[in-house]
Structures are given as structure tokens and as C-alpha cells.
Amino acid sequence: MEDGTILDDAWTLSASVALRPEPFGALAYHFGTRTLTFLKTPQLVQVVRLLADQTCARSAMVAAGVDPKQHATYAAALAGLEHAGVVQRRAKEAAA
């Protein structure tokens, strides 16, 4: 999948996942699959936490202060988190 699509889609933390803060970032525990996923930086954790409140992943990254040069790296991380079931796409809100 293209980075642009990932960045422009709306996302949220899966309802089956809990984040446990750690010095390196966080552990994501998926209650359905009973798996742990490492979020390796505090800034990635901040992006994941902001996803539900933003219209797209790009907005969450901007709100978290991610350097635009790093957006492709974060898009790849987001794709991995989607594959692990940590985050999921959500419908974009309709324009008023």
C-alpha cells in the first residue's frame, strides 16, 4: 500500500488493544490474540493515541510533532501495527 493512502486514511486504536507505557515507548497487548507488540518510541505512542481524534494519520503525526521527513517511516510502522491488529482504519467523518 502506498504511504500517501496510509497517511490520508482515518485510523484508531483497536478496541481489543491496551497500551502499557514503557520507557522505550509502549507495549500493546491485544486481548483477542493475546499478543504483545512493541511501540519502540514515545513519539509513535503519541501518534497512535492521537489517531482517534484526528481526521487522518498525517494529522496525528503533525499533532505529535513528527518531522515530515519521517512520515514515510511512521506510515510503515502504522502498516505493521495494522497487520498486528493494534490499529484499524475507520470511516472518515463526512464534511458538514
Parent domain of 74: 3-90
- Residue 96 located in a structural domain: no
- Residue 95 located in a structural domain: no
Could you give the angle at the alpha carbon of 27 between the alpha carbons of 23 and 32, nearest 5°? 170
pLDDT in tens, the chain (96 residues): 456 689 999 999 999 999 999 999 999 999 999 999 999 999 999 999 999 999 999 999 999 999 999 999 999 999 999 999 999 999 766 544
- Residue 82 located in a structural domain: yes
> Please, what is the end-to-end C-alpha distance for the chain in angstroms?
29
- Residue 71 located in a structural domain: yes
Determine the pLDDT at residue 4.
63
Determine the pLDDT at residue 5.
84
CATH number of the domain residue 44 falls in = 3.90.930
